[in-house]
């Protein structure tokens, strides 16, 4: 073999080796990133080729995929519209997924490892693959009452089962219809999303979990628990110094009010009324003792 041919062969082998190395690098190190890239339409088309699992409340779907006759085989629909939008979120061709649609995407799309046996069974039997369903702890009656109670007011309602922590109702207002951003028409999706994003009421915000609020009167329970645990009793007398003003508490104060450890009306130095926990009870329990009660009550802990 003469020198020119040898050089061409070496160059070809080097290029071939680089191609193999690049292919392996992309598959091993970049594969996950490329699969989740929003611009990867192959993954998106594949997801719309299979029936996405339903999100279920009390045995009925609040989000489901229905067959269509267009290029995308299935369309995501939300039968209850805005009623559960804060919980379900949306599954959009352009804007991806939010809410439960995002949090439980692997299950709904059928890619979760727990569905491996089902995927294998579908493959062997020739059945069309489909995602798994997600059953929520929400109660339809409680959710209806929460939505009705909010009405047109801006705010949120959350109801929980104190025994298990299960969410029974989660409503946010104003809300939106997720069907508007889950169609197969890109221009319609963009128009609907822009209107929602520009809305001064911010309907895309789930005020129940994505907004911070002061604890308000709920913290009175922690003060009361700390007081009771440290030997205080509901009818105990006490006194406290609040902003250089003496505040006394005894059973004769504020007749007809609720639990004396939980409610007491005081006035700030400027004379403006303020509702708060019983200052005598709060001052009667040292600060570090109240601090010990906060973790026990779940303050500062993330939900699971």
SS3 33: helix
SS3 61: strand
Q: Quote the distance between the C-alpha of residue 266 and its chain's center.
A: 38
Q: For residue 160, what is the enclosing H or E element? A: strand 155-160
Q: Kindly state the DSSP code that residue 123 receives in the 8-state scheme.
A: H
- Give me the residues paired with residue 160 across strands: 167
Residue 217 annotated among the catalytic residues of the structure: yes
Could you tell me if 223 and 269 are in contact, meaning their C-beta atoms sit under 8 angstroms apart?
Answer: no
φ, ψ of residue 267 to 5 degrees: the values are -120, 135
DSSP H helices in the chain? 3-29, 31-35, 41-49, 85-88, 99-103, 105-109, 116-125, 140-150, 186-198, 220-229, 279-284, 287-296
Burial 14-45 (b: 16+ CB within 10 A, else e): eeeeeeeeeeeeeeeeeeeeeeeeeeeeeeee
In 3-state terms the chain splits into helix, strand, coil percentages (rounded to 5) of: 45, 20, 40
109, 121, 187, 217: the catalytic one is 217
Q: Which residues are catalytic?
A: 217
């Amino acid at each position: 073999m003469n020198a020119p041919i040898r050089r061409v062969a070496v160059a070809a082998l080097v290029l071939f080796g680089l191609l193999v190395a690049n292919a392996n690098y992309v598959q091993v190190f970049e594969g996950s990133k490329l699969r989740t890239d929003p611009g990867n339409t192959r993954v998106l088309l594949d997801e719309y080729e299979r029936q996405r699992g339903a999100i279920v409340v009390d045995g009925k779907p609040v989000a489901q995929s229905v067959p269509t006759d267009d290029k995308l085989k299935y369309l995501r629909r939300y039968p209850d519209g805005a009623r559960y939008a804060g919980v379900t979120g949306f599954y959009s061709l352009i804007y991806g997924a939010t809410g439960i649609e995002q949090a439980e995407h692997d299950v709904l799309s059928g890619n979760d490892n727990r569905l491996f046996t089902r995927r294998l069974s579908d493959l062997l039997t020739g059945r069309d693959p489909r995602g798994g369903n997600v059953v929520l702890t929400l109660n339809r009656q409680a959710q209806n009452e929460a939505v009705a109670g909010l009405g047109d007011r801006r705010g949120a309602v959350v109801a929980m089962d104190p025994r298990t922590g299960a969410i029974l109702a989660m409503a946010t207002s104003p809300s939106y219809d997720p069907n508007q951003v889950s169609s197969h028409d890109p221009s319609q999706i963009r128009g609907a999303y822009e209107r929602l994003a520009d809305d001064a009421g911010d309907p895309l915000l789930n005020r129940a979990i994505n907004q911070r609020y002061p604890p308000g009167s709920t913290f009175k329970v922690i003060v009361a628990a700390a007081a009771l645990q440290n030997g205080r009793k509901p009818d105990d007398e006490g006194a406290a110094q609040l902003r250089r003003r003496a505040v006394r508490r005894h059973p004769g104060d504020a007749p007809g009010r609720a639990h004396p450890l939980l409610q007491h009306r005081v006035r700030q130095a400027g004379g403006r009324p303020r509702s708060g926990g019983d200052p005598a009870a709060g001052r009667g329990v040292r600060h570090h003792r109240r601090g010990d009660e906060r973790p026990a009550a779940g303050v500062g802990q993330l939900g699971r």
